[in-house]
Chains A and B, each alone.
Chain A
Amino acid sequence: MAHAHAVKRYTGLLDWLTTVDHKKIGILYLFAGFFFFIIGGLEAVLIRIQLWEPMNDFVSAETFNQLLTMHGTTMIFLAAMPMIFALMNAVIPLQIGARDVAFPFVNALGFWTFFFGAVLLNVSWFAGGAPDAGWTSYVPLASPVYSSTHGVDYYVIGLQIAGLGTLIGGINFLVTIINMRAPGMSFMRMPMFTWAAFITSALILFAFPALTVGLVALMFDRLFEANFFDVSQGGNAVLWEHIFWIFGHPEVYILILPAFGIISEVISTFSRKRLFGYSSMVFATVLIGFLGFMVWAHHMFTTGLGPIANALFSIATMLIAVPTGIKIFNWLFTMWGGSIKFTTANLFAVGFVPTFVMGGVTGVMLAAAPADFQYHDSYFVVAHFHYVIVGGLVLGLFSGLFYWWPKMFGRVLNETLGKLFFWLFYIGFHLTFFIQHFLGLMGMPRRVWRYLDGMGFNEMNLISSVGAMLMGLGTIVFIINMIVTGLKPRNASNDPWEDGRTLEWTIPSPPPEYNFAQTPLVRGYDAFWKEKMEGKNAMTPAEPLGPIHMPSPSILPFLMSLGLFIAGFGFMYHNYYIGIGGLVITFGCMFFRSVIDDHGFHIEPEELQDKGVKA
């Protein structure tokens, strides 16, 4: 059967636009996410400049609201989520011994919808003002009555498109992890990062549809005069808060769980010890995932839900501290007695543990409903969620980036610059946010444009602003590190840390497009480490060398997302020809995808030999 399909191979820009290779998509996610991380960071710096002295006039009140809204929205949806997807794409198929994800085409589609949604959201800066109702976009502030410009429309449509990409990405990873594991890779042998990605994907699957409905309702209210949240027409503003947080609370666990996974891998590798309490880690991850859906109303204690609801959600929230505590102790016990190497990746991981504990403790403080009435809407809350998101997720992400950078790019990041980056960022972070706890306790409200002199806020705000500059400086060092490393030759070995425990370290850095010439046979948890302990330096293959089937590249994901992008503008400005035209592009691409069979192509064994398969 010689199905000799001509191999379509593109080069240059077209290669990146058409790729369905999970490793390249991971790199796309990384750079797109990092780009928006810089944008969101610049917005944060502008906010801190405005607040560095009382009654500052650096930006106007309107601009401040826009900066604030876009900082939150950008960091969560356009920076953190894609960087998580970057690591998941780059690592998960390798960790489970798969040649690709379950749906390579859908994977590309997920990236491009995210990307075009993100671009649409940011176009708002140049089209009459960005969204300014906060990242939670509460009505009535976000209703057409109080927000009459197009700002919030950009929020609604941009997030809708980007959310679609995230949702299909989540389904893709669920199926990949369930169906594509190598022989012997049972669920209880999966690396912790894979487990975290699995639960995160499940949370994405069940949380994002709620956001979809919320955004649809708000869009109908804003564009087509519906009355979901319009109190004068019988609507209800609290309904938006509920729907938003039924999505929004799982969302923060979607963000933090992958960081937990990364930290588990890094600490275990650089302590040269098996992860302590693996099965309790898995259990804790699953439990956090489930409880994450049952606590959303703790964001709404002060809306007046009543004592029963407040008590219920208080207790449920405090329960989450239990599985989280299990994880913290497991990390500590993993390090205990290990021969610890303080690489940059491990510095970030070790730095993560106390920082995240602090964020967790303030979280339990906020979970006490009566106390929350005092903390509510103050800088105490701002300090809390930055401790868990920056001190938790972002430190975890940087740890993961330093750890897996050689696997993604074939080059080890510079350690000296890396450590400089860590210390600048870490000190800057605590300087910025530790002090904000006290600002909050003293009564400084969050989301204020400026504050009066003589309230005792001056020095603390100045310190906070200085810290933010340090974080910015650290990020610049990281960018320099990326450039310096990128100029070096590609010389990372298969296992550059020499203590790799999982399957991704058994193959070249960066891996060939088919990942594994022969699917490995997994004989236990920490599959590669197990082989190493038995004196082998490679995995036992589970199959003979044979032709490898690969999916063909396609431009359709790009065009499909472009169609949504165009349609978004059309509907926003009530130009229905353009709106429908955009949808026609999208559905037309779906039609072609369905009609044209994708046979893919085969890489023959001889070709594998040419490329030098290691024994």
Chain B
Amino acid sequence: MANQPSAANNNGRRHKSEGPQKHIIAFIFSILLTVIAFAAVAAGEVNETFIYIILIGMAILQVFVQMAFWMHMKDRGHIYPIIGILFGITIAITAVVMAQYWVWW
């Protein structure tokens, strides 16, 4: 079921015999982000805050890639899932902020 690439095709319903390429690209991207994170820690001896920022940044990027491509959140008809997950993330971040600032003093 090969189909011609065409701009109008992107969101169509019938023909989407999606190839594995984009998932493999997402996979390579994920591996890359993971390696950067591990390497940053393994390198050591750098500013702690700087490493923290890199680690968190890599994690957020990777989660974004995986949710968009593997969980299909970039596709049509995912507005309620996006709202649901985003709100969940908001509460989760609130809880983490709480743990950072308001538990020990």
Contact = CB atoms under 8 A, between A and B. Distances in A.
- A and B together in one complex: yes
A337 interface: no
With most chain A CB atoms within 10 A of its CB, the pick from B87, B94, B98 is: B98
Contacts of A236: 103-104
A246 B88 contact: no
Interface in B50-105: 80, 84, 87-88, 90-91, 94-95, 98-99, 101-105
B105 A306 contact: yes
Nearest to B91: A206
Q: B-side binding surface: helix, strand, loop or mixed?
A: helix
Given A178-B80, A206-B87, A239-B99, A246 B94 contact: yes
A14 interface: no
Contacts of A306: 105
A107 to B, nearest CB: 20
B80 A309 contact: no
Interface in A181-218: 202, 205-206, 210
Nearest to B101: A309
A304 B94 contact: no
A305 B105 contact: yes
A294 interface: yes
A243 B80 CA distance: 27
- Chain B contact-residue range equals 10 to 19
**At the interface, is chain A mostly helix, strand, loop or mixed?**
helix
B77 to A, nearest CB: 12
A242 B87 CA distance: 19
Contacts of B101: 309
Nearest to B104: A236
A293 B105 contact: no
B76 to A, nearest CB: 16
A460 interface: no
Interface in B1-30: none
A304 B98 CA distance: 14
A315 interface: no
Contacts of A294: 94
A302 to B, nearest CB: 14
A350 to B, nearest CB: 35
Contacts of B84: 205
A239 B94 contact: no
Contacts of A246: 91, 94-95, 98
A360 to B, nearest CB: 24
A-B complex: 4 closest residue pairs judged by Cβ atoms: A206-B91, A242-B98, A305-B102, A239-B103
29 contacts: A178-B80, A202-B87, A205-B84, A206-B88, A206-B91, A210-B91, A236-B103, A236-B104, A238-B103, A239-B99, A239-B103, A242-B95, A242-B98, A242-B99, A242-B102, A242-B103, A243-B95, A246-B91, A246-B94, A246-B98, A293-B90, A293-B91, A293-B94, A294-B94, A297-B98, A297-B102, A304-B105, A305-B102, A305-B105
Interface of A: 178, 202, 205-206, 210, 236, 238-239, 242-243, 246, 293-294, 297, 304-306, 309
Given A239-B99, A294-B94, A309-B101, 17 more contacts: A178-B80, A206-B91, A210-B91, A236-B103, A236-B104, A238-B102, A242-B95, A242-B99, A242-B103, A243-B95, A246-B94, A246-B98, A293-B90, A297-B98, A297-B102, A304-B105, A306-B105
